[in-house]
Structure 1
Amino acid sequence: MADNPANNGAEQNGMPALNALAQYCKDFSFENPNAPRSLQPQTEGPQINLQVNVNAKQLAEADFEVDLTLEGDAKIGGKDVLFAFELTYSGVFRVQNIPQDQLHPVIMIECPRLLFPFARQIVADAVRNGGFPPLYIDPIDFVALYRQRAAEVQSQPGQTNLS
């Protein structure tokens, strides 16, 4: 029996595998609400705000859809919005031969880590196309984000799911 290229033979040899089956822009918006006034030279640099969220849902026994959501804006003086964006960039991942106790961290850390460079580029291009210098989001520590979210869930009574 020949190896299936989609799983690189992981199923047959028992090796752990994480494969991206698809990735796509699920939802995206960019706003430049004060144009063309916002495109004029500013006396001070903008304050950039960014929120990151990761969610996942199981599609099949070994397949998971992971959503990486980036929401942000740039303001001058804390009130005048130069631009705002919201992006949900998603992927479908096949996970094989990962121990059950490691499955959740793999889905919630490694999958968004693989999606991030593509989402970062979409945001940078949209900000540039909106008339501003491109916004290159700094790398995100998905391990720290995972730990922070786990701590938040544990501190809330009745919560058991991180996704």
Structure 2
Amino acid sequence: MAEEENKAAAGDQPAPSLNIVGQYIKDLSFENPNAPASLSAGQAPQISISINVGAQKQQDELYAVELTINAKAERDEKVLFSVELVYGGLFAIKNFPENQLHPLVMIECPRLIFPFARQLLATVTQTGGFPPLLMEPVDFSSIYRQNLEAAAQQQQQNSDAKPN
């Protein structure tokens, strides 16, 4: 009955849906190159973190979205640990307008799988002998906008560089 109401409200159009079909670790690497010396107490390390989002259509209405997270901790110019994680989700996306698909795949899908990737990084760094690496929440909307701006600038530079 609720499905019939949704169709009627949308003018007999099925309601949009976004479902996680599955989640996976594609790649996980943890290095502690100076163990056991890296585990000794000292001043707080400098930690750098980068995150990238990639997506690929697998089939009609099925998308793979992957987060690539790299984190490195250094103290006195020595690497304490380095971790790389490629964590993905497979999403079934149905009945969304075409103009909403790209932001949905690049913002909402990463937002849904990020907590799992974050927990995995915390567990791996803790198991490696360090305090758990607790990443702050990520604003995927901001990353999306920055990537769009960078792509627009690159396109402008390419068009300016072409001879007439």
Which bin holds the TM-score, normalised by the shorter protein? 0.7 to 0.9
Shift of the alpha carbon at 1:123?
A: 0.4
Please name the residue that 1:144 is paired with.
142
Q: TM-score, normalization: structure 2?
A: 0.86
- Are 1:66 and 2:79 an aligned pair? no
**TM-superposition CA deviations, 1:70-128 (whole Å, max 9, x none):** 00101113x21110000000111011111111100000001100110100011000100
Q: 5+ unaligned residues in a row in structure 1: which ranges? A: 4-11
Shift of the alpha carbon at 1:61?
A: 1.1
Q: Which has the larger radius of gyration?
A: 2
Count the aligned residue pairs: 147
Percent identity between matched residues is 46
User: Whose helix proportion is higher, 1 or 2?
Assistant: 2
Q: 5+ unaligned residues in a row in structure 2: which ranges? A: 4-11, 160-164
Q: Distance in 2 between matches of 1:34 and 1:126?
A: 17
After superposition, residues 106-145 of structure 1 pair within 5 angstroms as: 106-145=104-143
Shift of the alpha carbon at 1:26?
A: 0.6
Paired letter, 2:80? L
**TM-superposition CA deviations, 1:118-161 (whole Å, max 9, x none):** 000110001000101101111000000000111111111269xx
Please name the residue that 1:15 is paired with.
15
Shift of the alpha carbon at 1:13?
A: 5.7
Shift of the alpha carbon at 1:20?
A: 0.4
